[in-house]
Amino acid sequence: MENSNGITRRTFVSAAAAMTAMAALASAGCSPTQNSVEEGGAASGAGVAGTWVSAACWHNCGGRCVNMALVQDGVVIRQKTDDSHEDSPEQFQQRACVRGRSQRNQVFSADRIRKPLKRSGWAPGGGANSQGELRGRDTWEEIGWDEALDLIAQEFERIKTDYGNKAFLVIGGEAQSLMASYGGYVGSWGTTSYGTFAYTPGIVGLGDFNFSDSGNDRLDFKNCETIVLIGSNPAWSSAGSPIYHALLLKEQGTKFVALDPFYNESHSALGAEWIPTRPGTETTLFIGVAYEMLRMDPEKQLIDWDFLNTYTIGFDAEHMPEGEDPAGNFKDYLLGTSDGTPKTPEWTAARTGIPAEKITYIAELIGKDTRAAIVGSYSAARNTHTDNWPQMFMTIGAMGGHFGKSGHMCGLTTNARAYGGGPAIFQAGSDGLESVPNPIKDESICHVEMWKGIVEGSYTFTGTSTSKRNPGVQKSIDIHVIWHAGSARLQTADDQVSGIAAHRKVDLVISNASFMTTNSKYSDFILPVSTLWERPGGFLTGNREMLIMHTQVVDRYYETYSDQEIAKMLAPLLGIDGEEIWPTSAAQQFFNQCAGATMTDESGEKVTLISFTQEEIDALGVDGEPQEGSISFSEYKEKGVVSVKRSEGDAYTYYYYEDFIDDPVANPTKSESGLMEIYSRQLASTIRDFGYSNDVTPIPTFYTGPEGYAGTFENGDMVAGVPSAYPFQLYNPHYLRRSHTVFDNVQWLREAWTNPVYLNASDAGAKGIATGDVVKITSPHGVTLRPACVTERLMPGMVGLVHGAWVNVDESTGIDYAGSDNYVYGTVKSGAGVSGWNSGICNFEKASESLIPDVDLPLLVNYNADGTYAGGGRR
Amino acid sequence: MAQVGFYHDMTRCVGCKACQMACKDKNDLAIGLIYRHAESYETGTYPLPASYCYSFSCNHCAMPACLAACPAQAITKMEDGTVIIDEEVCIGCQECIPACPYGVPQYKADTNTVGKCDGCYELRMNGESNACASTCAARALYFGDLEELQARFGSGKTLVNEFPALGAMPETEPSLLVNLKDAAKEASFSPSLY
């Protein structure tokens, strides 16, 4: 039997049997022993025996679902999703999405890398020896693990001796632990998905890091009359259960209003009223809404003054922080007392393109007497020059009093926790490992300027993470090694054109990868990584009402190893004792997570989750003591998931910010004042000190950057309205073909989702472009090609280039053929260092180039029938 | 006679194609073969567009034209009404393809046979659910006895088996119940997001 991945059972088994020297490091793999089933018979007469195994679906997708794999003779025959219990709104099944359902087509993809690859033109010694300019163009050759790791270790030693540890840029947890033990490395950080929610919320008193879990409990969404969505598309961006919860709300009569550039599939299914809105203009829009709430308040009582007076500072002159000029308050900014410009609907309309009457309409919609949820995703914050947006968002919620009570919310409802905030009911235990802290604490590059910084040899050091920050210091940097041992940074960081140049500049690039990813394509060594389907097991968290346990599905795939195993193999070659960093086996780490797992029971008590018998512990081959819990290990392993059945008023009921509202003195926010700071001295001063931009203000105000909506006009003048050379705003919707960059090589998904660029029908029509035509998208930073999807569902002036396609540059022209988003985004420094993927600018035209449909492109890695490497690596 | 079929709730479907992929996986289909496909359509113009999604597959017709067209007796209507092609018997003549009013049967060159949705007959006989319906996160797709589906989902609604994007109901009597969105009643529509 040959399945659609081209893997027969025989080649698979023989490949696994061929493991030799390195197999000694293999984890204590448990072969699948779950419940066997007998199938078939009736129709075909062919009985198919197999075993269902809870198979990890572990990606950065914004969802989290149950995935089961049917294993027969070590080969996965097919998948299914959650059927561990009957489906009901009270206890819903964790149903998998289109990507999860294709998971075996990824794990066993024909282009999955089986043995280490070395770039042909690379040689040790650095400089010209590395022929760095060939990265991304060169051919590859297979190399043994021993030889690959020896070469890497020798280069590390040479570079460490010549340039020191600050020559190493290392990305990925296990490699970082190794390199920390080796003397340290240069780290990196970025606002990634979170945009300006990565820094602003904690400073202004709006929840915790990233402002996640910021809605009320799932059951309380029913109590909202109106849900205002700001940049939200759970059907695509939080695939899995969230859209189901939202649909139930629609069916009970909840009104949805959507602010978004796109009338997306979620809006359509929810019957949402669409108010077309350009990303990055939300702060300005809500300044206008706040003005209208204030104007209409005497007549319509829209503002919750008690809330403002009790829980916030900075709204009016009477409630300003001590030592600040009372004239700097928000209300006087709205009225124009302080700057002579009232922020009327007409003023707002001219700066957002949103009709004035819609601004008035929104103000009436979210007054204090409406049970309103103002919720959305991070997308409005993934814009440059929007560091005041989370504060404006908080301010609107505070004006309506939409915090801490039933039926009222102002928060994010996104990722797997969309439509259900609150602390997790189930928690996995610790694996028992401790990460090694990086001894180099005075270097770390923000993604926004990471690649350009490496190329130019200097950058601004503003801290070591989104929250651990210091005033900006200009530093020189001399990177010689880039090690991608996690993430997809060359594909996902801003300014990929500089990223490619940075990769071509250094002496050595290593990529741990399962496929010829963008990281890998521009590397010198590709170290093939095992997937979670080939490891003993672990846990996956998503919505708070469940916890997924996954276990090993199949044996080790050819000569692939986990990131931890790879780091541990390299350790002795660098004179490091890997046993000290990773003293336990992967199986023991899994057991530790199991043994320490907890759940909050119906009385609100935290109890041990998993029972273990001695036999179960022995079968795992680990050290441990039997224990009593809520579910046996064997039953959990068979089901793959535990969940709770919810009911009104149960122990899991949760209202975001309830503690603060009950007693703001005992439960202060994390701001300087302990209140919600509509005026935040710290926000403005710290961000200005970073040195990226000088526009962030203590209160939310109107300002723009060089790109985004303003950048589509000459001199950024929206009011004059003269188009610039890049008259379209480029933004970056998440797309169901991929999870960020993950899955982009999966043929089943490439067939299902073609990856077009979304264009408004009038805009496209004016340029003679129809659906299917090849479009050339030109930004100030790069040029890319995509087939057009012409639609009435995207507002005019916007171009929707979906996120995460693996760059495919034609070296003769420098044009990308894949629609790689970061190829057309540049280094645009602003605020706290935000990556602004929704505030690009571009122009587009009908292209003279032709495009082969993605699914028909040759694979990047090929193997002969006998398992030998057959080349590839270029398109 | 019993008759199974699909219920599709267009007011819930988000066109995510999870059903399409579950079908692809269950039937282990090579690139180019798709037994179930979810599509998105739009009507209207900016700023008031409307859209709907539908998941197409075999409608297990009461009087299947494919069966009637098959010269090899490879197509069987099972006791529960499922229409199945036995690829061991199929001679690859492809007579069934144009016969189907919905263009459902797919020719497989590598085996010289025709395949299509078999309503996950084997799975159901072994106590599992249909791959497509059981993965639907929006709970928009169900499979079962048509009368039971009508009783469960049809209360206060008119469930249909024809609309412009699917085509008018043919004489084959498709076993299909659709809770239609208003936008899907528009005669003029165009393919939307993909």
Residue A516 to chain B, least CA–CA distance (Å) = 20
Give the rounded percent of residues in chain A with a pLDDT score beyond 90.
Answer: 92
pLDDT digits (tens, 9 = 90+) for A762-773: 999 999 999 999
Q: Are A661 and A670 in contact (CB under 8 A)?
A: no
- Helix/strand/coil for A633: helix
ipTM of the complex: 0.98
Find the helix packing angle between A356-365 and A282-300, rounded to 10°. Answer: 60
pLDDT digits (tens, 9 = 90+) for B105-156: 999 999 999 999 999 999 999 999 999 999 999 999 999 999 999 999 999 9
pLDDT digits (tens, 9 = 90+) for A532-581: 999 999 999 999 999 999 999 999 999 999 999 999 999 999 999 999 99
**DSSP code of A48?**
E
Instruction: Return the CATH superfamily for domain A216-419+659-690.
Output: Dimethylsulfoxide Reductase, domain 2 (3.40.228.10)
CA B11 to chain centre: 17
Gap between the Cα atoms of A186 and A496, Å rounded = 19
CATH of A117-193+441-528, one of 3.40.1160.10, 3.10.20.30, 3.40.50.740, 3.40.50.1390: 3.40.50.740
E strands along A697-773, which residues?
A: 728-731, 757-760
Q: What are phi and psi of B52, to 5 degrees?
A: -155, 160
Quick check: B16 and A265 CB within 8 A? Answer: yes
Taking domain A708-856, whether its CATH number is 3.50.40.10 is answered by: no
Q: Are A274 and A258 in contact (CB under 8 A)?
A: yes
Q: Which pair of tokens denotes residue A494?
A: 């801003």
Gap between the Cα atoms of A782 and A29, Å rounded = 46
Element (H, E) at A255: strand A255-260
DSSP H helical ranges for chain B:
18-27, 65-69, 96-99, 121-125, 131-135, 146-153
Question: Given a cut of 90, is residue A209 above it in pLDDT?
Answer: no
**Cα distance between the two ends of chain A:** 30
Domain ranges of chain A: 9-113+532-544+546-643, 117-193+441-528, 216-419+659-690, 708-856
CATH number, domain B4-59+116-191: 3.30.70.20
pLDDT digits (tens, 9 = 90+) for B82-107: 999 999 999 999 999 999 999 999 99
Angle at A825 between CA A755 and CA A203, to 5 degrees: 110
Element (H, E) at A746: none
Radius of gyration of chain A (CA): 27
Residue B19 to chain A, least CA–CA distance (Å) = 7
Residue A769 to chain B, least CA–CA distance (Å) = 15
Comparing CA positions, the residue from A435, A22, A415, A11 lying closest to residue A239 is A415
User: Higher model confidence: residue B171 or residue A208?
Assistant: B171
Give bridge partners of residue A798 from the DSSP assignment.
Answer: A729
- Taking CA–CA distances from A89, the nearest residue in chain B reads B139
- Helix/strand/coil for A20: coil
Q: What are phi and psi of A373, to 5 degrees?
A: -115, 120
Element (H, E) at A451: helix A447-456
- Helix/strand/coil for A579: helix
pLDDT value of position A19: 35
Residues of A in contact with B106 (CB under 8 A): none
pTM: 0.95
Question: Which residues, other chains included, contact A547 with Cβ-Cβ below 8 Å and sequence gap of 6+?
Answer: A424, A426, A427, A428, A539, A540, A541, A597, A599, A609, A641, A642, A643
Amino acid identity, residue A125? G
Question: Given a cut of 60, is residue A873 above it in pLDDT?
Answer: no
Residues 161-220 of A with CB under 8 A from B: none
Count other Cβ atoms within 10 Å, centred on residue A213. Answer: 20
Amino acid identity, residue A444? S
Q: To 10 degrees, the CA torsion angle through B69, B72, B78, B81?
A: -10
Residues 776-815 of A with CB under 8 A from B: 789, 791-796
Question: Which residues, other chains included, contact A251 with Cβ-Cβ below 8 Å and sequence gap of 6+?
Answer: none
Average pLDDT over residues A285-290: 98
A39, A41, A235 ranked by CB distance to B14: nearest:
A235
Residues 138-167 of B with CB under 8 A from A: 138-139
Average pLDDT over residues A38-61: 68
pLDDT digits (tens, 9 = 90+) for A85-101: 999 999 999 999 999 99
Q: Which pair of tokens denotes residue A319?
A: 């409630």
Comparing CA positions, the residue from A201, A221, A209, A206 lying closest to residue A655 is A221
DSSP H helical ranges for A173-278:
173-181, 200-204, 234-237, 242-251, 265-269
What is the DSSP annotation of A262-273? B--HHHHHTTPE
- Helix/strand/coil for A599: strand
Gap between the Cα atoms of B187 and A53, Å rounded = 47
A80, A81, A792 ranked by CB distance to B44: nearest:
A792
Q: Do domains A117-193+441-528 and A216-419+659-690 have the same CATH topology?
A: no
Residue A94 to chain B, least CA–CA distance (Å) = 8
Q: A interface mutation test: which of B46, B53, B128, B153 has the most A CBs within 10 A? A: B46
Q: A interface mutation test: which of B8, B13, B14, B80 has the most A CBs within 10 A? A: B14
Question: Given a cut of 70, is residue A42 above it in pLDDT?
Answer: no
Q: Which pair of tokens denotes residue B5?
A: 């079929």
Comparing CA positions, the residue from A857, A852, A819, A855 lying closest to residue A747 is A855
Give bridge partners of residue A731 from the DSSP assignment.
Answer: A800
SS3 labels along A768-796: CCCCCCEEEEECCCCEEEEEEEEECCECC
Angle at A817 between CA A811 and CA A818, to 5 degrees: 125
B13, B134, B194 ranked by CB distance to A756: nearest:
B194
Q: How distant, in Å, are the alpha carbons of A737, A814, B183 from that of A98?
A: 8, 33, 25
Chain A contact for B15 (CB, 8 A cutoff): yes
Residues 237-266 of A with CB under 8 A from B: 239-241, 243-244, 247, 263-266
Residue A39 to chain B, least CA–CA distance (Å) = 6
Comparing CA positions, the residue from A720, A713, A652 lying closest to residue A423 is A652
Chain B contact for A419 (CB, 8 A cutoff): no
Phi-psi category of B114—alpha, beta or left, where left has phi over 0 and alpha has psi -120 to 50? beta
Q: Encode burial over A229-258: b for 16+ CB neighbours within 10 A, e otherwise.
A: bbbbbbbbbbbbbbbbbbbbbbeeebbbbb
Question: Given a cut of 60, is residue A23 above it in pLDDT?
Answer: no
Q: A interface mutation test: which of B20, B25, B56 has the most A CBs within 10 A? A: B25
Element (H, E) at A411: strand A409-412
pLDDT digits (tens, 9 = 90+) for A515-531: 999 999 999 999 999 99
Residues of A in contact with B129 (CB under 8 A): 83
A3, A102, A747 ranked by CB distance to B28: nearest:
A3
Gap between the Cα atoms of A30 and A587, Å rounded = 9
pLDDT value of position A5: 46
pLDDT value of position A212: 73
CA A533 to chain centre: 21
- Taking CA–CA distances from A753, the nearest residue in chain B reads B194
